[in-house]
Amino acid sequence: MAVYTDVPDDALNAFVGAYDIGGVLACKGIAEGIENSNYLLQTERGTFILTLYERRVAPEDLPFFLGLMEHLAGRGIACPTPVPGRDGEALRELCGRPAAIVTFLNGMCVRRAGAEHCAALGRATAEMHRAGEDFPPGRENALGLPGWRPLFATCRDSADGIAPGVRREIDEELDFLDAHWPGDAAAGVIHADLFPDNVFFLGDRLSGIIDFYFACNDLYAYELAICLNAWCFEADLSFNVTKARRLIAGYRSVRALEDREIAALPVLARGAALRFFLTRLHDALFPPEGVLVGRKDPLEYLHKLRFHQRVTDPGAYGLET
Amino acid sequence: MAVYTDVPDDALNAFVGAYDIGGVLACKGIAEGIENSNYLLQTERGTFILTLYERRVAPEDLPFFLGLMEHLAGRGIACPTPVPGRDGEALRELCGRPAAIVTFLNGMCVRRAGAEHCAALGRATAEMHRAGEDFPPGRENALGLPGWRPLFATCRDSADGIAPGVRREIDEELDFLDAHWPGDAAAGVIHADLFPDNVFFLGDRLSGIIDFYFACNDLYAYELAICLNAWCFEADLSFNVTKARRLIAGYRSVRALEDREIAALPVLARGAALRFFLTRLHDALFPPEGVLVGRKDPLEYLHKLRFHQRVTDPGAYGLET
């Protein structure tokens, strides 16, 4: 849950006055998006999301994020579209923070994603990758392979407090990933945080992808590896290979996977598990100030990492190579 | 901010299926209402508020609260109307909690209420009192005069930690209020929590009153005394007599105040200040579990109490008696 910045009615009215969206009818702080303050804004012209960007988002990245959403939405991807003010500018300022209004998307997050949801996610992910092919690269993945070692350095001394031997285990994993990372696989703009809270459904139909504030240039198959981690494990951390098969088949029905992307999936899945283990470990050791959510358990991703370490063949993900 | 209970999509769809409001399009936890979990619910038929009642609301009071809202809304008061399910029942259960859907009201809380807002509040309060005249009494004020001494007993030993001498000051105030409380003034159903967060405006026009979960039977003029405390002090705790005059004049333009109600206002204003001082003191000493908001400062209401103690005549509130 978030909403860090309280927007007074007079500041809001002045802000919305710069747009062609009519007068404000209502504006409610919503419990969505961990990193920013989000409001559901109702005006005489419809429903919108107003976002105030808080500390964890680098202001210099905002033109990339907003430009990407506009680009993708213009190509039919169900994602929020930034709404420009009358002066054409979508990125503005409110209460001393960068702020933007984007379109509202219907749909809800699913608590228990089924195989149909995974298939729809795979298709939508591939559609997003294809729609982003002609978007100019603009943001390295700050939480990609080169970022993991420095991130771990901030937690390394306390890592064994999470579980015995973790420090050494992660040191070895970083060495392994450095040695085996498939740097030459197909790359482009990825969302990089396609967790169930960022994907809306109406029934089985995927109705929207939100929260592009980790989007970056990285390997397409790494996105799929994040999804395998985030969508295909059950609550007891068993791996549901049917969901994985449907996810990947859905993806391949829209964008062909290269042989080297397929071959790299086990390594990429290890990397994705490590990435979320590390950020959760960091947040557990250094809780971000003002964040009200319960912390997420890093051990979940240590278990997932160990699962992928035992995978010797992409067939474990339901793939026929 | 609140939202304690996370409602999974499947539970929500089943719950909404019992109503005639169409399918769910979106549902966002909103930062509104300290005591309950509130969701902004969008369905094929419109926008609603879904409330799950948490621990601080006694389930046996819910029929009174919902019945009152229905009664007032039926008489043209701009307040949420409970929406019944197809079986006619408005009070239902969701995620193991009592839950209800009410209509959505446009408008926003004002950060800086002006004299026009106070005048509109006075009129709306009197209209609400008149509309409630034929609503059957059903709930004593648990936070009224008889409740203050037991409430203070839970904090009395720590009270001097807030400011020196507070224990004795409150003891004496309780004695004074017991001796001077105008028990015979006009009484009926009051909202009892008419703070700026519970009143919506569109410009200067009052568009809604929400959060009836402290509503009870008490003196009408005590409601006005709460409003004097909540709306007529500036941020520096100076008393704005213009706002008070407009508030009371607005009220009197709809419902005549009896002479004894007018004469009692200074005592009632002391009582109202004490009531919010005590609940804030209690919450500061015993923070309610799971509540995410920053605590409110009890000292604000101690200062307001002292202001009213110095008032010798209702003229101080801009009244001509």
Structural domains counted in chain A: 2
> Which range (A114-128, A222-236, B185-199, B278-292) has the least confidence?
B278-292
Give the up-direction half-sphere exposure of residue B23: CA atoms within 13 A in the CB hemisphere: 9
B80 and B228 belong to one structural domain: no
A4, pLDDT greater than 80: no
Q: What is the pLDDT of residue A1?
A: 44
What share of chain B in percent tops pLDDT 90?
87
B62 and B135 belong to one structural domain: no
Residue A257 belongs to some domain of the structure: yes
CB atoms < 10 A from the CB of A7, how many?
Answer: 22
A25, pLDDT greater than 90: yes
Residue B111 is nearest to which of A10, A28, A40, comparing CB atoms?
A10
CATH number at residue B45: 3.30.200.20
Rounded distance between C-alpha atoms, residue B228 and residue B245, angstroms: 10
Mutate to test the interface with A, among B42, B108, B197 (most CBs of A within 10 A): B108
Residue A110 belongs to some domain of the structure: no
Spell out which chain A residues touch chain B, with contact meaning CB-CB distance below 8 angstroms. Answer: 1, 3, 8-10, 12, 23-32, 40, 42, 47, 104-112, 200-202, 292
Report CB contact under 8 Å: A9, B292: no
DSSP 8-state assignment for residue A136:
P
State the smallest CA–CA distance between residue A9 and chain B in angstroms. 6
B202 and B310 belong to one structural domain: yes
Residue B9 is nearest to which of A24, A109, A292, comparing CB atoms?
A109
Rounded distance between C-alpha atoms, residue A73 and residue A82, angstroms: 9
Both tokens of residue A52? Answer: 């105030």
A89 and A128 belong to one structural domain: no
Sign of CA dihedral B283, B284, B289, B290: positive
pLDDT-derived band at A3 (thresholds 50, 70, 90) equals low
B182 and B284 belong to one structural domain: yes
pLDDT digits (tens, 9 = 90+) for A155-209: 999 999 999 999 999 999 999 999 999 989 999 999 999 999 999 999 899 999 9
B292, pLDDT greater than 80: no
Rounded distance between C-alpha atoms, residue A131 and residue A77, angstroms: 8
Both tokens of residue B92? Answer: 């239902």
Report CB contact under 8 Å: B32, A28: yes
Report CB contact under 8 Å: B8, A106: no
CATH number at residue B140: 3.90.1200.10
Residue A217 belongs to some domain of the structure: yes
Residue B9 is nearest to which of A26, A29, A111, comparing CB atoms?
A111
Mutate to test the interface with A, among B30, B45, B94, B95 (most CBs of A within 10 A): B30
A207 and A272 belong to one structural domain: yes
Q: What is the pLDDT of residue B55?
A: 82
Mutate to test the interface with B, among A106, A108, A199 (most CBs of B within 10 A): A108
Using a CB-CB cut-off of 8 Å, the residues of chain B touching A25 are: 106-107, 202
DSSP 8-state assignment for residue A287:
P
Q: Pick from A62, A77, A103: which residue ends a domain?
A: A103
* Separation of first and last alpha carbons in chain A: 41
Report CB contact under 8 Å: B40, A32: no
What share of chain A in percent tops pLDDT 70?
96
B201 and B298 belong to one structural domain: yes
Full residue range of the structural domain in which residue B13 is found: 9-103
Instruction: Kindly state the greatest CA–CA separation across chain A.
Output: 60
Using a CB-CB cut-off of 8 Å, the residues of chain A touching B14 are: none
Q: Which of A12, A186, A1 is nearest to A97 (CA)?
A: A12
Spell out which chain B residues touch chain A, with contact meaning CB-CB distance below 8 angstroms. Answer: 1, 3, 8-10, 12, 23-32, 40, 42, 47, 104-112, 200-202, 292
- Average pLDDT of span B152-156: 96
Q: What is the pLDDT of residue A34?
A: 67
Rounded distance between C-alpha atoms, residue A269 and residue A256, angstroms: 19
pLDDT-derived band at B1 (thresholds 50, 70, 90) equals very low
Residue A213 belongs to some domain of the structure: yes
Residue B109 belongs to some domain of the structure: no
pLDDT digits (tens, 9 = 90+) for B90-142: 999 999 999 999 999 999 999 999 999 999 999 999 999 999 999 998 899 99
- Residues A235 and A158: beta-carbon distance below 8 Å: no
The three state secondary structure string of chain B is CCCCCCCCHHHHHHHHCCCCCCCEEEEEEECCCCCCEEEEEEECCEEEEEEECCCCCCHHHHHHHHHHHHHHHHCCCCCCCEECCCCCCCCEEECCEEEEEEECCCCECCCCCCHHHHHHHHHHHHHHHHHCCCCCCCCECCCCHHHHHHHHHCCHHHHHHCCCCHHHHHHHHHHHHHHHCCCCCCEEEECCCCCHHHEEEECCEEEEECCCCCCEEEEHHHHHHHHHHHHCECCCCCECHHHHHHHHHHHHCCCCCCHHHHHHHHHHHHHHHHHHHHHHHHHHHCCCCCCCCCCCCHHHHHHHHHHHHCCCCHHHHCCCC
In B, minimum Cα distance to A104 occurs at: B26
Residue A3 belongs to some domain of the structure: no
Q: Pick from B103, B124, B159: which residue ends a domain?
A: B103
Give the up-direction half-sphere exposure of residue B21: CA atoms within 13 A in the CB hemisphere: 27
B65 and B142 belong to one structural domain: no
A53 and A166 belong to one structural domain: no
Using a CB-CB cut-off of 8 Å, the residues of chain B touching A105 are: 26
B120 and B90 belong to one structural domain: no
Rounded distance between C-alpha atoms, residue B283 and residue B155, angstroms: 10
Residue A272 belongs to some domain of the structure: yes
Q: Pick from A63, A82, A103: which residue ends a domain?
A: A103
Model pTM score: 0.91
Using a CB-CB cut-off of 8 Å, the residues of chain B touching A211 are: none
pLDDT digits (tens, 9 = 90+) for B216-263: 999 999 999 999 999 999 999 999 999 999 999 999 999 999 999 999
pLDDT digits (tens, 9 = 90+) for A219-274: 999 999 999 999 999 999 999 999 999 999 999 999 999 999 999 999 999 999 99
B40 and B153 belong to one structural domain: no
Residue A144 belongs to some domain of the structure: yes
A157 and A89 belong to one structural domain: no
Both tokens of residue B158? Answer: 């720590």
